[in-house]
Structure 1
């Protein structure tokens, strides 16, 4: 059976024991898939707690730590997220919104079906996102996303039901650095 698309591959998946040749990497050796080297878990922020009076301070501290130390977190009801990130990073209210007022928004939908031999196929290569924030929805229980921590270890992003994964992009990282006090200022 000749399969020409990922959708056809998915339909045939229950009958497949290996990946068809046209979907394999054209290299001599299999890809080196990063192996998680830490038992740490990606931080999770509950947006309903963040937005509620009285209990928001603890979640705000979690959000601050996630943005500053991880650059990624999962959030659960996500409206108003950028404003909370501004507050957590001690930026002025609506400062990011003003800077991004005429900015480009885009959506990319990438479908990764379950794979019987993931080490032989290519998803996305390790990269940073050249955005303000990236919001991911992981569906169908297909994992595989890993992030590299500041200490160089790889941590898997475990899929939480009804949660979105939020990555701090390069643009927000640069903006955040511009708003932090200089060591010379203290």
Structure 2
């Protein structure tokens, strides 16, 4: 069994802190200089591209849905996935069970609290110093695939039926991730065996987020602006409170998910493999002044024993490599030694072009 090690300092529960008056919020959580989001034309939230999974897998040569997928990954870095095949009734069960899990008494949740240097369990991630600004949210994080690397104190010990629900959901999402990457490789005109070799046995982790309400919601941040160090991330909003914002054309805009749709985003690893054709996009989680927000992010990445770099079939004299090659283990080690800061990490792997 392997643990997910992160240079992380333990911090208090935000769910418990939110029960106190807003005047008692420690200064570490206050960010009065937060860049505000813009309201798109017409006063509506942002409509990001929608991809139909059934059309994606059933179309033949010159499938227009593949072309839509390529456009979404290239121009947006985000898209919604409809008709994904995960049962909507099962998703409602998951939402209800996660809600109950975060509402457990603090003493009960301490059974699954993070330990020093290990990110798995309740707590926060990417806390690397005593004076950095902190997010207004609690998370539950764990490695779920491959099965041999799971922490045995987590899924098996979760309350029933949450443990069974989590087993089925993570299995469904693992299969969906593999299917999506096959279609992404097709959209890139990349050799399928290259994607298979990069992924290896793959690595799936999950992060379930709870952002308690805060009267000073315009001065706190649920999740710091960042790009994901993944191939792809699949996000499920667990209640009706919006809060995901993406940086589009230099401005922060709010995303409103379709009912039962997943939001999928390109990660840093896919940007590197695609040699920059697809770009990971900065995004963040905001806090509501009155209502709690819940979300479930599933991250799909690479096994630790390989190398990461642009796919050879995408490199030519006309399209030289834009990123250096690096061992996957070193890539993740460097990532977890830093605090979240936009796309600063992936930028360290860029090759300066003449």
Band of TM-score, shorter chain: 0.7 to 0.9
Q: Which has the higher contact order (CA 8 A, sep 6+)?
A: 1
Cα distance in 2 for residues equivalent to 1:55 and 1:9 = 55
Compute the displacement of 1:156 (Å). Answer: 1.7
With normalisation by structure 2, the TM-score equals 0.43
Partner of 2:123: none
Cα distance in 2 for residues equivalent to 1:23 and 1:33 = 20
| Matching residue within 65, 69, 78 for 1:63 | 69
Residues 72-123 of structure 1, C-alpha deviation per residue, up to 9 Å, x if partnerless? 1111216211111111111122432321114432111112245554213221
Structure with the larger strand share: 2
Report the 3-state secondary structure (helix = DSSP H, G, I; strand = E; otherwise coil) of the residue aligned with 1:107: strand
> Residues 139, 55 of structure 1: CA spacing in aligned structure 2 closer, same or farther, 3 A cutoff?
farther
Decide whether the 8 Å contact of 2:81 with 2:263 is kept in 1: yes
Partner of 2:53: 47
Partner of 1:107: 206
> How many residues are treated as equivalent by the alignment?
175
- Which runs of no fewer than 5 residues in structure 2 stay unpaired? 1-11, 86-175, 276-309, 320-354
Cα distance in 2 for residues equivalent to 1:38 and 1:60 = 27
Cα distance in 1 for residues equivalent to 2:229 and 2:222 = 18
Compute the displacement of 1:9 (Å). Answer: 7.4
> Residues 141, 122 of structure 1: CA spacing in aligned structure 2 closer, same or farther, 3 A cutoff?
same
Cα distance in 1 for residues equivalent to 2:213 and 2:54 = 32
Decide whether the 8 Å contact of 2:80 with 2:257 is kept in 1: no
Tell me, yes or no, if structure 1 residue 22 matches structure 2 residue 25: yes
Partner of 2:280: none
> Residues 62, 96 of structure 1: CA spacing in aligned structure 2 closer, same or farther, 3 A cutoff?
same
Report the 3-state secondary structure (helix = DSSP H, G, I; strand = E; otherwise coil) of the residue aligned with 2:239: coil
Partner of 1:173: 271
> Residues 90, 166 of structure 1: CA spacing in aligned structure 2 closer, same or farther, 3 A cutoff?
same
Decide whether the 8 Å contact of 1:73 with 1:167 is kept in 2: yes
Tell me, yes or no, if structure 1 residue 133 matches structure 2 residue 243: no
